């Protein structure tokens, strides 16, 4: 099986690179810290050129930081790699903290000078960069205060976030003569066999109960940290910092959350259907249980060829990019110590995109390949069109590319299936989409209520948190799912420590569905999709999509995607009736 190659790595140069980082940043401070870059447009452009070059060469620790981060993903238990990575991270943070003055001073200029720089033709490439700084400047602190905030995050808050996941990851249980990790036990809740799911639930509840007192203190510490930071910076809502950093506003997320929440009946009806097919009221732990097994294996060669065929049908450049990934940028097979799940990662424009998989020859592995390659195509198109400062994707749109390609691959897979297989696949697809959209908005509602009640009461017991969690889960799951014993299941949901991130899954998939509809109506629309995929962070999401004829502030827009899911649900109900499953 293919694994990563690091042909760009020269370990002998790593110490030289560190020296270079220190020197380049010191020179930048010497040349520009007295505010000389604000004297005129020429000096500002010169400073911006230097600033971008520093990010290009040294961002995230440069080649050394990227290399050891990737090695860590393949060897999570290697303490030497962890130590090395921490050393690089500390060194990089300390150096890059010296650059805080640049954004702070730029953000503090007068409105008159802001307008001058924004309208200067020689600086037009940087206008979005300027606008972001000007818009967020009121939340920025002094240079020394920003350094303190940065150091505080690394030394305290981030450790709180990592603590619980580290403890739970070490838990194992002996089940039917086999020692299973927590992640393996979670996987057992997907089993076709009810007794396997129920045994998994008992073990999960035991583990989560063991750490419930720790989790109570942990989440209160995190909630307190967020509240303190918000007060210091002057944010008006608990989700403000997330939305501002994602270049979206409150109207965007409020419209999305309201529309999805008003259509929870779709997910209620889906779980009612699943309950009827399986023949009993489902426990919370069974919400993702499979209704049947596909007796098909999808080895990596088959998956690779299928994905490449779909990509080529959409646009030849997509297939070309995927073939480049196959030259040492994919790590495919599970192995001891390797990180679970899958991801696509990029750091700076100079460094290549890498994709990690744990391919197990099931349908999910095929879809995961398409998903991560979608992210990779997004990276590479952005790399080809954008400057360093715009090389990336806004959180609000990060999942659009991945789900866009994933759905076209699903369409190809289902073509040659029997009705029984189609029912299994359609139920699985509906479950995935409801989990990605509806469940994540229910989680957003949970977070909103959690932060609000913490800020009122100043402490929440695990019972308080459990009640809030259960009610928000009930809202989207409906009456066919028994949520009576899921009080502690918020504990291992890591996104709640990285607040309000979950909305991006919902917005990403619903926007993706809109793009899919347009491509299916007019294949030439793929050119517009490619423009979006190459835009990076050079434009605000609202501007990118308005240019494509999409109004992300319209409830009707979000409802169209939900209606599509509802239509699939109706077809699935008819198919289940036809097959005598309900």
Question: At CA 20, angle to CA 17 and CA 21, rounded to 5?
Answer: 90
DSSP string, 212-276: HHHHHHHHHHHHHHHHHHHHHHT-SSTTHHHHHHTT--HHHHHHHHHHHHTTHHHHHHHHHHHHH
One-letter-per-residue 3-state SS of 481-543: EECCCCCCCCCCCHHHHCCCCCHHHHHHHHHHHHHHHHHHHCHHHHHHHHHHHCCCCCCCHHH
Q: Rounded CA gap, 391 and 9, in Å?
A: 21
Q: Which distant-in-sequence residues (6+ apart) come within 8 Å of 472 by Cβ?
A: 442, 443, 445, 446, 449
Phi then psi for 175, rounded to 5 degrees? -125, 115
Other Cβ atoms within 10 Å of 573 Cβ, number? 18
The 8-class DSSP code of residue 6 comes to: -
C-alpha distances in angstroms, 221 versus 1, 295, 409, 460, 577?
44, 47, 43, 11, 51
Per-residue pLDDT of the chain (582 residues; tens, 9 = 90+): 579 999 999 999 999 999 999 999 999 999 998 889 999 999 999 999 999 999 999 999 999 999 999 999 999 889 999 999 999 999 999 999 999 999 999 999 999 999 999 999 999 999 999 999 999 988 888 878 888 887 776 556 667 777 888 788 889 999 999 999 888 899 899 999 999 999 999 999 999 999 999 999 999 999 999 999 999 999 999 999 999 988 899 999 999 999 999 999 999 999 999 999 999 999 999 999 999 988 889 999 999 999 999 999 999 999 999 999 999 999 999 887 888 889 999 999 999 999 999 998 888 899 999 999 999 999 999 999 999 999 999 888 888 999 999 999 999 999 989 999 999 999 999 999 999 999 999 999 999 999 999 999 999 999 999 999 999 999 999 999 999 999 999 998 988 988 999 999 999 999 999 999 999 999 999 999 999 999 999 999 999 999 888 899 999 999 999 999 999 999 999 999 999 999
351 by Cβ neighbours in 10 Å (0-12 / 13-18 / 19+) ranks as buried
Q: Which has the closest alpha carbon to 462: 215, 164, 202, 95?
A: 215
C-alpha distances in angstroms, 279 versus 291, 325, 435, 480?
10, 45, 22, 11
Give residue 88's Cα distance to chain centre.
24
Q: For residue 462, what are its two tokens?
A: 């695990």
The 8-class DSSP code of residue 461 comes to: -
What pLDDT sits at residue 147?
Answer: 80
Other Cβ atoms within 10 Å of 489 Cβ, number? 19
Q: The tokens 């070309």 sit on which residue?
A: 320
CATH no. for 11-140: 1.20.140.70
Residue pair 172/184 in contact by the 8 Å Cβ criterion: no
3-state helix, strand, coil in the chain (%, to 5): 70, 5, 25
426 by Cβ neighbours in 10 Å (0-12 / 13-18 / 19+) ranks as buried
């Amino acid at each position: 099986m293919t694994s990563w190659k690091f042909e760009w790595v020269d370990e002998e140069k790593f110490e030289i690179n560190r020296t270079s980082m220190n020197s380049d940043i010191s020179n930048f401070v010497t040349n520009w810290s007295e505010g000389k870059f604000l004297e005129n447009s020429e000096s500002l452009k010169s400073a911006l050129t230097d600033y971008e070059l520093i990010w290009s060469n040294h961002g995230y620790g440069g080649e050394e930081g990227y290399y050891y981060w990737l090695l860590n993903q393949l060897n999570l238990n290697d303490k030497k790699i962890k130590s090395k990575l921490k050393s690089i991270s500390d060194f990089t943070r300390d150096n890059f903290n010296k650059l805080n003055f640049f954004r702070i001073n730029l953000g503090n200029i007068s409105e008159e000078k802001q307008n001058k720089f924004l309208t200067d033709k020689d600086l037009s490439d940087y206008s979005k960069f300027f606008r972001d700084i000007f818009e967020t400047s009121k939340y920025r602190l002094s240079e020394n205060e920003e350094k303190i905030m940065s150091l505080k995050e690394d030394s305290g808050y981030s450790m709180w976030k990592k603590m619980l996941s580290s403890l739970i990851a070490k838990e194992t249980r002996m089940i039917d003569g086999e020692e299973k990790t927590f992640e393996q036990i979670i996987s057992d809740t997907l089993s076709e066999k009810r007794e396997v799911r129920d045994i998994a639930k008992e073990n999960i509840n035991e583990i989560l109960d063991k750490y419930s007192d720790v989790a109570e203190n942990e989440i209160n510490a995190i909630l307190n940290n967020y509240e303190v930071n918000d007060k210091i910076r002057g944010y008006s809502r608990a989700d403000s910092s997330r939305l501002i950093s994602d270049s979206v506003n409150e109207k965007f997320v409020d419209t999305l959350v309201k529309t999805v929440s008003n259509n929870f009946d779709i997910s209620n009806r889906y779980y009612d259907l699943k309950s009827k097919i399986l023949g009993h009221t489902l426990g919370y732990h069974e919400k993702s249980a499979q209704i049947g097994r596909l007796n098909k294996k999808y080895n990596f060669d088959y998956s690779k060829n299928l994905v490449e065929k779909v990509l080529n049908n959409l646009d030849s450049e997509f297939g070309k990019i995927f073939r480049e990934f196959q030259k040492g940028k994919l790590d495919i097979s599970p192995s001891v110590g390797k990180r679970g799940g899958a991801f696509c990662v990029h750091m700076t424009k100079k460094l290549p995109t890498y994709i990690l998989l744990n391919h197990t020859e099931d349908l999910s592995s095929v879809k995961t390949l398409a998903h991560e390659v979608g992210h990779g195509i997004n990276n590479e198109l952005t790399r080809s069109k954008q400057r360093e400062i715009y090389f990336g994707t806004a959180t609000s749109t990060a999942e659009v590319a991945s789900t866009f390609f994933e759905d076209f691959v699903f369409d190809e897979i289902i073509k040659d299936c029997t009705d029984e297989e189609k029912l299994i696949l359609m139920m699985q697809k509906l479950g995935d989409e409801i989990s990605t959209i509806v469940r994540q908005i229910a989680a957003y509602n949970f977070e909103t209520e959690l932060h609000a009640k913490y800020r009122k009461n100043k402490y929440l017991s695990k019972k308080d948190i459990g009640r809030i969690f259960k009610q928000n889960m009930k809202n989207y799951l409906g009456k066919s799912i028994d949520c009576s014993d899921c009080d502690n299941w918020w504990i291992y949901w890591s996104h709640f420590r990285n607040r309000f991130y979950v909305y991006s899954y919902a917005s990403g998939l619903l926007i993706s569905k809109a793009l899919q509809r347009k491509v299916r109506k007019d294949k030439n629309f793929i050119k517009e999709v490619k423009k979006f995929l190459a835009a990076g962070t050079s434009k605000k999401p609202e501007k990118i999509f308005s240019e494509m004829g999409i109004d992300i502030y319209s409830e009707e827009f979000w409802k169209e995607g939900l209606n599509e899911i509802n239509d699939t649900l109706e077809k699935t109900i008819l198919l289940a009736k036809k097959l005598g499953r309900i």
